[in-house]
Amino acid sequence: MPSPTISSSNAAAVKKWNSTVMTDHLRGALLEPLMGTSEDAIIQVLPEPELSSTGDEFTFHYRPALDRTTGVDGSDVLRGKEQDLTLYTDKVTIDERANAISIRNFDISQKRTVVNLKDQQFKALQDWLIERNHLKMMQQLLSTSTGRVRARALYGSSDANWNATEATAKANVDAINDLLTVEMLVLAKQKAQLEGSSKMRPANVSRSEDAPVESFVFLGHPYAVRRLTKDPEWRNAEYFSEVASNKRHGGAFYKGTIEGVSVYEMPESNMLEASAGAGSITIAHGLLLGAQAACVGYGMDPEFRPDNDDYDRIQNLGVISLQGEKKTVFNGEDFGIVHVYSAY
């Protein structure tokens, strides 16, 4: 008697495939909570400029506060004691950012799978744009080609490790004394608040409408943050619930807030610098961020455009955006970033 089993190779076999598509994790989405149109945002989204052509630059300004020790009281004469209005400027360059996906022999390809190919085509480009924007912004935030001054950099656990030559300063970070600690975060925060020609401001990082929460934000590589969470001071604060999950700081990469600094892991390979530390150790480049640390400008919101061919047998989809990113540098120094280098 023949077996009732129908093998997978039998012509009558029904092959049912799952339509679920697994996708890579999007790191780019981690910066989204830091963006906003307010001047209190860490990454400020600038108003759309008037563009005459692709590649145009538009200027944004910073007005430093007047010296509070100046001015007069009572009957003192003001004439001759006026202050000049000072405006520092920086520019963002907007250019095209684009990519496209092609599906050839679309009709038969779609019949061969229950996955909606057009839907996946759109989602893949959407994911690419998020990741691309993230990459460009992180490159700006990590850049030290401009804005590098002593008031905006901490190399290890001591400010004495500073050197005007960047490679020399990094080589002072050693594997024993310069692991990331709460004290290093405090030193970086003190630089932000007390040093530089312009003092850094904490950002509004609230995700709730009930009340604003002002905090500096630290982005650290997971290897460095792991050392931070082993610091006895961190663990002691955690025990007393100072370092605790907060509804305003949700997410798997949020580690806690301590001393007014909200700490996030940022799994970025370019935050590690191989052979840069003492004895050629790899060191981690962390970022203490305040309000208006960077800005992003859009000349045109992203558009998805089909461009099919060969009687629609080839289905093409592209995404085009006009935008640009820039970390803010005023008067020759980083405006909202303290670069923190540590061992791990």
- Residue 326 CA, chain-centre distance (Å), reads 11
For 173-192, write each residue's pLDDT tens digit: 999 999 999 999 999 999 99
Assess whether pLDDT exceeds 80 at residue 52.
no
Q: Which residues of 47-78 are buried (b: 16+ CB within 10 A; e: fewer)?
A: eebeeeeeebebebebeeeeeeeeeeeeeeee
Domain ranges of the chain: 27-66+84-141+297-330, 147-294+332-342
Instruction: Give CA torsion, residues 233, 281, 135, 54, to 10 deg.
Output: 130
For the residues 77-87, what does the mean pLDDT come to? 88
For 259-315, write each residue's pLDDT tens digit: 999 999 999 999 999 999 999 999 999 999 999 999 998 888 889 999 999 999 999
Q: What is the mean pLDDT of the chain?
A: 86
pLDDT value at residue 291 = 92
Instruction: Give CA torsion, residues 41, 286, 159, 338, to 10 deg.
Output: -20
- Rounded Cα distance between 242 and 249, Å, is 14
What percentage of residues in the chain have a pLDDT greater than 90?
58
pLDDT value at residue 32 = 86
Residue with the bigger pLDDT between 263 and 12: it is 263
Q: How confident is the model at residue 84 (pLDDT cuts 50, 70, 90)?
A: confident
For 118-164, write each residue's pLDDT tens digit: 999 999 999 999 999 999 999 999 999 999 999 999 999 999 999 99
- Rounded Cα distance between 106 and 165, Å, is 57
Nearest CA to 36 out of 266, 204, 200, 201 is that of 204
- Residue 289 per-residue DSSP state: E
Assess whether pLDDT exceeds 50 at residue 31.
yes
Q: How confident is the model at residue 9 (pLDDT cuts 50, 70, 90)?
A: low
Does domain 27-66+84-141+297-330 fall into CATH 1.10.10? no
Q: How are the residues of the chain apportioned to helix, strand and coil, as percentages rounded to the nearest 5? A: 25, 30, 45
Q: What is the pTM of this model?
A: 0.86
* Other C-beta atoms lying within 10 Å of the C-beta of residue 140: 19
**What is the bridge-based pairing of β-strands 283-289 and 35-36?**
unpaired
Residue with the bigger pLDDT between 51 and 222: it is 222
Assess whether pLDDT exceeds 50 at residue 3.
no
pLDDT value at residue 1 = 46
